């Protein structure tokens, strides 16, 4: 006799009561965290081959959750990048603060939709709390608004949209109803060192490409104030806290007062660098940035909050919510914070809760120490490499170090061997037309021993590359 197939929803209702499943997930996660400090930082050939396990057709029938979890841990975990360990220096990717990871598990069980207060009062309130804490921590104008988005790419898009609409509104042009065709021209000014996502946002928003006024940068990638065009009330100026390669900060104290006086609006892309403002020792890097109008920043970089967590901040709440407002007959104004009016998304996960946990766990002192520690470790890394004869090409003002072997081909071969060593991992960039290794110290897990060990890996790789 043919076996009766169970109704899938009935099967899942049973699974939802299974206490063993989440315990098993917890054991797998713990097992991963127990081994992550010892595993190769980038997976080896064999681990990558294991991924073939996942390349099969969609199953016709429901699978067992425990077996699915097992399969993922067995073949997926080894093919991860050991980013939560201490020797990952790739891109500007942060680790994960324990409190925020633990909280994320609970939040995942909640499965809240952060769009509206009516969908989740707790998320709405914690967004409000995070907004206040961040404005305080960064020293931004009181009452500044925050939107919680996936990352700085989106935060830049939201911020620049708000700036665009605000400037056009001041010219008597309502961009949301009239669009951009026939609108008064805005002057968009951006430094040559701006991040790729800024150019992407500008092009999506109809402001991009050849009509931009590009300002040259100095040897560190800082926008040169003497290269700025005349600023006026139709100017949107985009600055940067933390050049993605060198970590350098634009000279806000020199530029922002000028922009403000001229009536221009300023957006600062501070994806990882804005956090310098939270440290008494590093705050000088961001001096003057509080005079801007819009800021973007990532919690998943310097703060070591879990992915994905970006924030857009705006001096004028209405400018942000005006550009991102949504309405519909089924959405009643609540009198509370409805998070979707601050972001592109409507349905959205409750990422602000992990951010709240991160900030609560670190406190003001903890955030400052974390940021300072990343800087100190970057300086340590740079000094140790310099002692071994590597060239350090940037002033290590924050957490980024640009390294070369003095000869581009040797640098390239050395990097490939470092990346394949499993000992540590960093990426590359073009700096001043030269191929360089790009080290980002971005995790609280990194110790002085991790740096020593990584420097030894660099030295071995260079030696092998010379053969």
Ligand X SMILES: *Cc1c(COP(=O)(O)O)cnc(C)c1O
List residues near ligand X by CB under 6 A: 92, 151-153, 195, 197, 242, 244, 269, 271-272, 298, 310
Nearer to ligand X, 221 or 339 (CB): 221
Among 386, 374, 389, smallest CA distance to 445 is for 374
CB of 197 to ligand X, least distance (A): 4
d(CA 189, CA 181): 20
CB of 18 to ligand X, least distance (A): 36
CB of 271 to ligand X, least distance (A): 3
Among 80, 90, 27, 84, smallest CA distance to 51 is for 80
Nearer to ligand X, 43 or 151 (CB): 151
Helix axis angle for 448-466 and 408-421, nearest 10°, is: 130
Would you say 315 and 77 are in contact if contact means Cβ atoms under 8 Å apart? no
CB of 193 to ligand X, least distance (A): 9
Nearer to ligand X, 152 or 414 (CB): 152
**How many Cα atoms are found within 13 Å in the side-chain-facing hemisphere of 75?**
13
d(CA 232, CA 329): 40
Nearer to ligand X, 92 or 101 (CB): 92
Nearer to ligand X, 78 or 150 (CB): 150
Nearest-10 Cα torsion for 369, 374, 380, 381: 170
Nearer to ligand X, 269 or 293 (CB): 269
d(CA 382, CA 385): 5
Nearer to ligand X, 321 or 440 (CB): 440
Nearer to ligand X, 153 or 223 (CB): 153
CB of 104 to ligand X, least distance (A): 17
CB of 273 to ligand X, least distance (A): 7
Q: Say how many Å lie between the first and final Cα of the chain, rounded.
A: 70
Beta strands in 308-466 (DSSP E): 310-314, 391-392, 400-404, 425-431, 434-440
Q: What sign results for the dihedral spanned by CA atoms 19, 24, 30, 34?
A: positive
Nearer to ligand X, 115 or 153 (CB): 153
SS3 for 366? helix
CB of 195 to ligand X, least distance (A): 3
Q: Which residue is nearest to ligand X (CB)?
A: 151
To which residue do tokens 């399969």 refer? 71
CB of 406 to ligand X, least distance (A): 27
SS3 for 433? coil
Please name the residues in contact with 221: beta carbons below 8 A apart, sequence gap of 6 or more. 193, 243, 245, 246, 248
Nearer to ligand X, 39 or 301 (CB): 301
The verdict on whether omega for the bond into residue 308 sits within 30 degrees of 0, i.e. cis, is: yes
d(CA 22, CA 30): 12
Phi, psi of 58 (to 5 degrees): -55, 125
Nearest-10 Cα torsion for 167, 171, 172, 174: -30
d(CA 323, CA 293): 14
CB of 367 to ligand X, least distance (A): 18
Nearer to ligand X, 149 or 417 (CB): 149
CB of 7 to ligand X, least distance (A): 41
Among 239, 186, 232, 230, smallest CA distance to 212 is for 186
CB of 301 to ligand X, least distance (A): 6
């Amino acid at each position: 006799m043919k076996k009766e197939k169970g109704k899938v929803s009935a099967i899942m209702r049973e699974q939802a009561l299974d206490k063993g499943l989440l315990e098993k997930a917890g054991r797998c996660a713990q097992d991963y965290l127990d081994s992550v400090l010892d595993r190769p930082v980038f997976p080896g050939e064999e681990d990558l081959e294991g991924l073939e396990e996942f390349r099969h057709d969609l199953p016709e029938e429901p699978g067992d959750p425990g077996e699915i979890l097992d399969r993922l841990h067995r073949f997926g975990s080894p093919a991860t990048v050991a980013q939560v360990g201490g020797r990952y220096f790739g891109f500007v990717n942060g680790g994960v603060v324990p409190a925020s990871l633990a909280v994320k598990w609970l939040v995942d069980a909640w499965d809240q939709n952060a769009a509206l207060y009516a969908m989740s009062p707790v998320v709405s309130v914690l967004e409000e709390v995070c907004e206040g804490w961040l404005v305080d921590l960064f020293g931004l104008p009181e009452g500044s608004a925050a939107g919680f988005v996936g990352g700085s790419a989106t935060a830049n898009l939201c911020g620049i949209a708000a700036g665009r609409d605000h400037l056009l509104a001041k010219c008597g042009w309502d961009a949301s109803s009239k669009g951009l065709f026939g609108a008064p021209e805005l002057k968009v000014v951006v430094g040559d060192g701006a991040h790729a996502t800024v150019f992407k946002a500008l092009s999506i928003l109809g402001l991009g490409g050849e009509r931009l006024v590009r300002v040259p940068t100095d040897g560190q990638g800082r926008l040169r104030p003497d290269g700025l065009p005349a600023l006026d009330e139709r100017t949107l100026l985009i600055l940067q806290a933390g050049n993605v390669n060198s970590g350098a900060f634009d000279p806000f104290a020199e530029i922002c007062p000028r922009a403000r006086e001229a009536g221009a609006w300023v957006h600062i892309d501070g994806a990882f660098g804005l956090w310098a403002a939270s440290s008494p020792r590093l705050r000088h890097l961001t001096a003057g940035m509080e005079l801007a109008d819009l800021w973007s920043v990532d919690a998943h970089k310097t703060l070591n909050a879990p992915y994905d967590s970006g924030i857009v901040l705006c001096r004028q709440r209405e400018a942000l919510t005006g550009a991102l407002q949504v309405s519909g007959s089924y959405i009643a104004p609540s009198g509370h914070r409805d998070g979707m009016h601050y972001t592109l998304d409507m349905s959205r996960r409750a990422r602000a809760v992990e951010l709240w946990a991160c900030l609560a766990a670190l406190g003001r002192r903890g955030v400052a120490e974390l940021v300072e520690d990343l800087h100190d470790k970057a300086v340590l890394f740079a000094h140790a490499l310099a002692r071994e004869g590597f060239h350090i090409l940037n002033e290590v003002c924050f957490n980024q170090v640009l390294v070369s072997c003095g000869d581009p081909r040797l640098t390239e071969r050395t990097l490939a061997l470092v990346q394949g060593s499993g000992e540590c991992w960093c990426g590359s960039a073009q700096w001043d037309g030269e191929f360089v290794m790009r080290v980002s110290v971005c995790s609280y897990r990194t110790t002085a021993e991790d740096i020593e060990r990584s420097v030894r890996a660099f030295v071995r790789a260079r030696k092998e590359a010379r053969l």
